[in-house]
Chain A
């Protein structure tokens, strides 16, 4: 047999397996949007609220919390400071927002990803930005809903009515909120104690901290990132369960 063919035979076999399972590179697949992100939704509904009172109002019932904004994607004003809301606060806010928009309570929906961020500070507690994405199976595809909260800008977006292909053979992984032993807040503090603090102090807190749990994108762990300009100053990974 041709020596060249013998050498490349294992590669061909691997490719045949990948081809068979649909796990090969196919530029045509680039045509289909496979992962949710805010920019691809056509149904984005922006709202404003009073960040000073929203948590108190929520504790007393839903009330009239969210006021619709006329346009999405306007230049935002971020006053200095921090609200330091925690993951559970944001879950409460986003759930209420979803109920306000859709009149349902996300029953039957799974969590696709959680993202939270804030500017660096001497004592970084809680977050100022939060996003959570939910999904559920509809037919042979996934449909998603996504809520973004920007506390300092007094804005929250609800996005939905977008569907995505189900990867073959494995579908999307979900985050089990009930079983999470490490929350976004915990992840931030663990990262702080394990090098994050030193990283932000090296740049005098001129940085942003992002905490992400996105098992479908990169890994099943919490990723805590300290970004300074273009550079990732520090990254820490934490198993969430």
Chain B
């Protein structure tokens, strides 16, 4: 019998040697097998992976339960259609009909790495200040993501990935893969290469506090336990989740609030608990329909992070605007840039 896979490598149909279909399978976008028609059976299902009798999909050393993952079942954002890609290396390269991934089949980090020390020096000096965009990061983003008109979360995620991936150091990465591994400071153990997110963040349920040495360490989980951290798409999903940590609870927020929240959440400088405090103590009447609904400047002042917040905002703004310059399809909503600039320029004053 022969399996006929769909674009994600999921087994959709099985034929006998005569070409007659003896089994038809269907899956929802989350990998749940919702249709089995025919007389034959197979243990290979969604994304072509081995399916256990329990319905769980065997992903080499791990199991992924299509119906369980909190993130997968609760979210409706369109990043979901990318998820299966991150599970299957073969699929990742060869069954990528629409978007994502590196079209050359090569490691995007390899192609975007900075070859000349002086270039790296310039980037290390100026990118963190927001003076120039993360050029290496932009190169990586353009290899693993595509602009989507109308999807601001996609744009913010791209800016976040560009910043985080910019400082990947090819000379000290001993694994040659996508992991960030800075040998002299190995204890940072980001674990997620271009997106620089720790194993603990990946493994803890979305929105729950991460426990370290028996106590919360202040960070929040992303609920991506079963995602393979070696693949760039996982980094994209992880960054998106990191932004959603603060965007989801930011109800009644303006697009300008969400821009600021995203700029800070990108580097784990804003958490759901910050949003809770902002909502209870820092509400202001916006000056315009798209204006801030929080007194961010006061919040930054009271929280001893004026200059740090200013720097993160400027860096994020520079990279979002660079994406827009490259393609108008990297959509940004009607953010009140005047207010953003006030915060950037005055926050550190």
Interface residues of A (CB under 8 A from B): 4-5, 7-8, 11-12, 14-15, 24-33, 35-42, 73-76, 112-113, 115, 117, 131, 133, 150, 161-162, 208, 210, 212, 214, 216-218, 223, 225, 227, 229-232, 235
A–B Cβ pairs within 8 angstroms, 27 of them = A5-B117, A11-B122, A12-B118, A14-B125, A15-B125, A26-B182, A27-B190, A27-B196, A28-B185, A35-B303, A38-B303, A39-B274, A42-B216, A42-B218, A73-B273, A73-B277, A75-B280, A115-B304, A117-B298, A214-B304, A217-B308, A227-B297, A229-B286, A229-B295, A230-B339, A231-B297, A231-B346
Identify the interface centre among B124, B167, B284: most chain A CB within 10 Å of its CB: B124
**Residue pair B349, A4 in contact (C-beta under 8 Å):** no
Given A28-B188, A73-B277, are A218 and B348 also a contact pair (CB < 8 Å)? yes
Identify the closest chain B residue to A78 (Cβ): B281
Q: Which of B122, B166, B209, B302 has the most CB of A within 10 A?
A: B302
A80–chain B nearest beta-carbon distance, Å: 16
User: Which residues between 311 and 349 of chain B lie within 8 Å of chain A, taking CB atoms?
Assistant: 336, 339, 342-343, 346, 348-349
Q: Contacts of A216 on B, CB cut-off 8 Å?
A: 304
What residue in chain B is nearest A36 (Cβ atoms)? B304
A-B contact count (CB 8 A): 159
Instruction: Indicate if B104 sits at the interface (CB-CB under 8 A).
Output: no
A37 CA / B276 CA spacing, docked (Å)? 13
Q: Nearest-CB distance from B280 to chain A (Å)?
A: 6
A217:B182 contact, CB within 8 angstroms: no
- Could you list which residues of chain B lie within 8 angstroms of chain A, going by C-beta atoms? 116-118, 121-122, 124-125, 127-128, 163-164, 166-167, 180, 182, 185, 188, 190, 196-198, 209, 215-219, 267-269, 271, 273-274, 276-277, 280-281, 284-287, 291-292, 295-298, 301-308, 336, 339, 342-343, 346, 348-349
Task: State in angstroms the CA–CA spacing of A87 and B229 once bound together.
Answer: 50
Report Cα–Cα, A156/B63, bound state, in Å.
47
Query: Do residues A25 and B124 form an inter-chain contact, with CB atoms below 8 A?
Result: yes
Cα(A218)–Cα(B300), bound, Å: 11
